Chains A and B, each alone.
Chain A
């Protein structure tokens, strides 16, 4: 649908508009919401990036948290500069994910799903038990330097948008095609001499580096982080964004994240009903609109728009 260049141009325009909005709008709350939309979109896009090799990576949530905690430690304990502490986040997240991938990507499918789930919960447990990291209450006091304070929302949005454009470029490159080939049948890339495990680890590292940077931005955006912000549920919501937007194209998760984040803001005061709402949306979309919004658009374009239950 948006595969041609006009779509990309439109996205760049929207990103620029968001940056301008952050620079010139006098409404801090709405700027905050825009940053949340971009951050959630990055989570969904990175989750989908590992789906390119066919693996559902719950540890997206863990690497988001690792990025946030890295920046928090660098900023508040080590007193690093703003940009150095932001840069540390993707590096540390990428390194840990390389190790994690080296061990776990020997498995696939349900085993990888479960192990990434367990990893996420155990990393969170480690935060709660660490006194340096503030235990259950987490860490506070990540502020951008005074002279950059007014520009911080614009910087955050620029970085988050850059991550998404970067991942889009990676997907469109030959590397992205190899990732999709691995998903289809990993024996074929292996038969032409490609190191499939190495490529899978590379895919995971690219996604984790990206989400680690988003985590670092998140630490500065919220100024407060706690272990409860990085449960497996972060990845679950990201998956909901992917599914609702449609995983056929990178714009899908972005649309899904935008809709659900805005809906979530409206529903915030409904307590348990909020979760019920998400639950019904997720089940309904899965069963009634399997391709998500992007899939719906493509079917509409192809003239085969028929509502269909099940798969």
Chain B
């Protein structure tokens, strides 16, 4: 029983970060009809900023850790927004709805940004000090408070995005554009501006995931790439462009990874995910919650 609770806690903790990451990817796909292979670089950038700023401000300036983390978090989001804005204006806006073109562009960005990170940051993994020390026991399962807080923050951000997409005017425009771009433009929705907002929101979500993950895992310059393959599996399972699909898919993949990884081994868990995708593709090619392509 304790073991199952422990594994469930792991599931929720990994899953909440997967969800954030996949949500950004699926949102960008919905609005721009492109797959952003450089999504992991946003995640990485945020994690790198958090670790650099924190190590510097705690060691050199002697700031309290929680305060330093808050500053680092905000800075990370800012840096990622700037990177996102630059790559959108100078690149992605020319390949809207162009699957092959956007794939190549995002791969080029992946190479360029990852190489730059490596030069700026170096290849050595760095860990940041614990922001909130201490452990907590839930139903016999032990958990660091830090991971619990991470889970709660990720859930709040996910809820916030859900509300943004389903309850606000911007969310309505995002959904309208995702549904039918031309009809949305006929209704007076400025497509290019909405696409930019969608892209920046997606990048920010990846940045949140990266800034949160930096607290519980050592930071390297390729930390985001490991998330990419799983995020792809998540959005195939959930359906490209579906917010709820990304949430369900993220939790499902985390569940398989956590339980499968414990009872068998991690690579078996990955294989199970792939078999799941294959079965799903045969039964329902557009994903659990996706719309059929015309």
- What are the residues of chain B within 8 A of A311 when measuring CB–CB? 94-95, 98, 101
- Would A276 and B267 be within 8 Å (CB), given that A103-B278, A283-B91 are in contact? no
- What are the residues of chain B within 8 A of A310 when measuring CB–CB? 94
* A110, A115, A281, A310 pick with most chain B CB within 10 angstroms: A110
Q: What total count of A-B pairs have CB within 8 Å?
A: 116
The answer to whether A150 has its CB under 8 Å from any CB of chain B is no
Name the prevailing secondary structure of the B interface residues.
Answer: helix
Interface residue ranges of B63-94 to A (CB < 8 Å): 90-91, 94
- What are the residues of chain B within 8 A of A121 when measuring CB–CB? 229
The answer to whether B281 has its CB under 8 Å from any CB of chain A is yes
Q: Mark A162-173, 1 if CB is under 8 A from B, else 0.
A: 000000000000
- Would A286 and B111 be within 8 Å (CB), given that A103-B281, A108-B293, A272-B118 are in contact? no
- What are the residues of chain A within 8 A of B101 when measuring CB–CB? 286, 290, 311
Contact of B94 among A114, A281, A287 (CB under 8 A): A287
Closest to B232 in A: A114
Which of A72-80, A206-214, A235-243 lines the interface with chain B?
A: A235-243
Contact of B35 among A113, A273, A275, A282 (CB under 8 A): A113
Q: How many residues of A contact B (CB 8 A)?
A: 43
Q: Mark A93-126, 1 if CB is under 8 A from B, else 0.
A: 0000000000110111111011101110110011
Contact of B103 among A113, A118, A272 (CB under 8 A): A113
- What are the residues of chain A within 8 A of B104 when measuring CB–CB? 239-240, 243, 282, 286
The answer to whether B132 has its CB under 8 Å from any CB of chain A is no
Q: Are B95 and A280 in contact (CB under 8 A)?
A: no
The answer to whether B139 has its CB under 8 Å from any CB of chain A is no
Q: Are B270 and A125 in contact (CB under 8 A)?
A: yes
Interface residue ranges of B95-146 to A (CB < 8 Å): 95, 98-101, 103-105, 107-116, 118-119
- What are the residues of chain B within 8 A of A279 when measuring CB–CB? 108-113, 115
Q: Are B277 and A118 in contact (CB under 8 A)?
A: yes
- What are the residues of chain B within 8 A of A283 when measuring CB–CB? 91, 105, 108-109, 112
**Considering the chains assembled together, what is the distance between the CA atoms of A114 and B25 in angstroms?**
12
Contact of A129 among B110, B118, B267 (CB under 8 A): B267
Question: Given A282-B108, A286-B95, list of 18 further CB < 8 A pairs?
Answer: A56-B100, A107-B285, A110-B35, A111-B240, A117-B229, A117-B232, A118-B232, A119-B274, A239-B107, A272-B115, A273-B115, A275-B111, A276-B119, A278-B108, A280-B112, A281-B108, A286-B108, A287-B91
Which A residues are closer than 8 A to B by beta carbons? 51, 56, 103-104, 106-111, 113-115, 117-119, 121-122, 125-126, 128-129, 236, 239-240, 243, 272-276, 278-283, 286-287, 290, 309-311
A-B residue pairs, 4 tightest by C-beta: A279-B112, A279-B111, A282-B108, A276-B115
